[in-house]
Amino acid sequence: MYTVELKPKAEKFVEAQITKVQRQLTNKMEALATNPRPRNSKLLHTKEKVYHVYSGDYRIIYQVQDDKRLVMVAKVGHRKDIYRRLGD
């Protein structure tokens, strides 16, 4: 079992959403604790080995630290602009 932690920007984004979207995103992130690389996750081609997973119209971008058994959620955002601001 992995621990899932959110960076402050990701947490702020989730908290700003309506309850239905918050629940959807939270459920998807909690599922990463048991399987940090689900079938629908994809490795983004970066040196940091960042993954992303879909959750409806939203994307969750995260790193897996196997040695610490940690999933660090770096960004959460709408699919239309999450990749444009990936370096933030």
Q: What pLDDT is stored for residue 87 in this prediction?
A: 60
In this predicted model, what pLDDT tens digit does every residue of 18-45 receive, in sequence order?
999 999 999 999 999 999 999 999 998 7
* Statement: residue 2 has pLDDT above 70: yes
Average pLDDT of the chain is 91
| Closest CA relative to residue 14, chosen from 23, 4, 5 | 23
CA 51 to the chain's CA centroid? 8
Q: What pLDDT is stored for residue 88 in this prediction?
A: 57
* CATH node for 3-78: 3.30.2310.20
CB atoms within 10 A of CB 80: 9
For β-strands 58-65 and 50-55, DSSP reports them as antiparallel
In this predicted model, what pLDDT tens digit does every residue of 47-61 receive, in sequence order?
788 999 999 999 999
